[in-house]
Amino acid sequence: MGWLGAWLEETATARAQAGLRRTLRPREASDPVVDLASNDYLGLARDPRVVEAGADAVRTWGAGSTGSRLVTGSTRLHGELEDALADFTGSPAALVFSSGYTANLGAVTALTGRGALVVSDVAAHASLVDAARLSRARVEVARCADPDAVDRVLAAREEPRAVVVVDGVDSVDGRIAPLAELHAVCRARDAVLVVDDAHGLGVRGPGGRGTLAEAGLAGAPDVVLTATLSKSLGAQGGVVLADRAVVEHLVDTARPFIFDTGLAPAAAGAALAALEIVRAEPERVAALHTAAATVAASARAAAPGIDVPAPTAAMVPVVLGDPELAVAAAAACAEHGLRAGCFRPPSVPPGTSRLRLTARADLSAGDLALVDQVLHKVLGPIAG
């Protein structure tokens, strides 16, 4: 293999020494563990109504969409899903992509390009980071939790166009972005705010309508909302929600939309059914927050020396520092019947490897009791 084999071996060894090797662990369809690692926040991925809607879409439209959205891949079902998402979030229009990742790539790259500025949050999701890199715009990294820092970057720019990109809910610690303040800065500086609400849709805002609705910004013409259909909606896919002119521009110019096969009918049908359930059963959102608070209380009691903040979304971070310690803790949890997320660099900064426990609306009292028992067994010795 020449240089390739030697280079692959060298880099794999370096990752192993740093505790950063990753392994695929396929799960069975029937899995007895309590799962606090998935993003199925509202417990809809296996809801019979969602599953049947996905199966019905396959029977009606086939297994695949058969082409890109601009050729044969756009079905009536896609249009119904886009209309429902726009209505639910209070947005003028929506455009569905094959994933949340491609939705972010499409939105950011199509709205920027050479001669533009992208202000990217220091903790932005990898899809936003990659979108900024691919945009060919000048990129400045700022701490968007500090709107004044963003204002200074925008005030010093020479580019006529600027976009600020931020996660509505941080994917690792659940921090809520100060969207109202960021929007005020963007409007004063003639910039567009792009908010990735992957972890906010179905979790924050009235009835789970997301962080923009919570901030009173739903439908604002200078705000673009992106989201995924694979978390609270339990399906797969992504969406960009914005002013209709923005959506029309994306149809014309967003390469991840133009050149990608359309979202599979099963995912579109399942997401549409899940959205209808969220609308009809807002108590699921309240149940999610109750479960998150319970999980956080158990983690605090199990590890009093470890800071576990009060959750503002679904995730409960338990920062352990060392990546190998975090991996070992996740493995120990699994041995006791609890699946916990394990986040290491580059997903988090060096020295902040952690367990990320994600609550779900459908966790039972028995599930939460097991969580409490396992966390005491695993975190107690670590905390000393």
pLDDT digit string, tens, across residues 124-143: 999 999 999 999 999 999 99
Three-state secondary structure of 73-116: CCCHHHHHHHHHHHHHHCCCEEEEECCHHHHHHHHHHHHCCCCE
The widest CA-to-CA distance across the chain, in whole angstroms, is 61
Q: Average pLDDT, stretch 356-370?
A: 97
Q: State the average pLDDT over residues 234-242.
A: 98
User: Is the pLDDT score of 110 beyond 70?
Assistant: yes
Residue 20's pLDDT band, with cuts at 50, 70 and 90, is confident
Cis ω on the peptide bond leading into residue 346 (within 30° of 0)? yes
Residue 46: burial class (beta carbons within 10 Å; 0-12, 13-18, 19+): exposed
pLDDT attached to residue 7:
94
pLDDT greater than 80 at residue 67: yes
**Pick from 274, 264, 156, 161: which is nearest to 208 by CA?**
274
pLDDT of 1 higher than 80 = no
136's torsion region: left (phi>0), alpha (psi -120 to 50) or beta?
left
Contact predicate 67/294, CB 8 Å: no
Assess whether pLDDT exceeds 80 at residue 13.
yes
pLDDT at 307: 81
* pLDDT of res. 97: 98
Q: In this predicted structure, what is the pLDDT of residue 108?
A: 98
- Quick check: 21 pLDDT over 90? no
Predicted confidence band at 383 (pLDDT cuts at 50, 70, 90)? Answer: low
Structure token digits, residue 192: 């567009």
Judge whether residue 316 has pLDDT over 90. yes
**Which domains are delineated in the chain?**
48-280 (3.40.640.10), 282-383 (3.90.1150.10)
Residues 317-345: pLDDT tens digits?
999 988 999 999 999 999 999 999 999 88
pLDDT of 121 higher than 90: yes
**What's the mean pLDDT in 284-297?**
97
Q: What is the pLDDT of residue 22?
A: 84
Name the residue type at position 282. Answer: P
Give pLDDT, residue 25: 83
Mean pLDDT of the chain: 95
Q: Is the pLDDT of residue 28 over 90?
A: no
The residue assigned the tokens 């339990």 is 234
* Whole-number pLDDT of residue 384: 62
pLDDT band at 380 (very low <50, low <70, confident <90, very high): confident
Check whether 92 has a pLDDT greater than 90.
yes
Token couple for 55 = 């199966």
Distance CA 52, CA 190 (A): 46
**104 backbone φψ class: left, alpha, beta (φ>0; ψ -120 to 50):** alpha
Give me the pLDDT at residue 175, please: 94
User: pLDDT category, 115, cuts 50, 70, 90?
Assistant: very high
pLDDT digits (tens, 9 = 90+) for 159-189: 999 999 999 999 988 999 999 999 999 999 9
pLDDT at 24: 85
What percentage of the chain has pLDDT greater than the value 70? 99
- Name 330's Cβ contacts closer than 8 Å, sequence gap at least 6: 340, 341, 342, 355
pLDDT at 140: 98
Q: How confident is the model at residue 306 (pLDDT cuts 50, 70, 90)?
A: confident
Q: Indicate if the pLDDT at residue 32 is higher than 90.
A: no
Residue 6 confidence (pLDDT) above 80: yes
- pTM for this prediction: 0.94
Average pLDDT over residues 87-111: 98
Write out the two tokens for 324.
């190998």
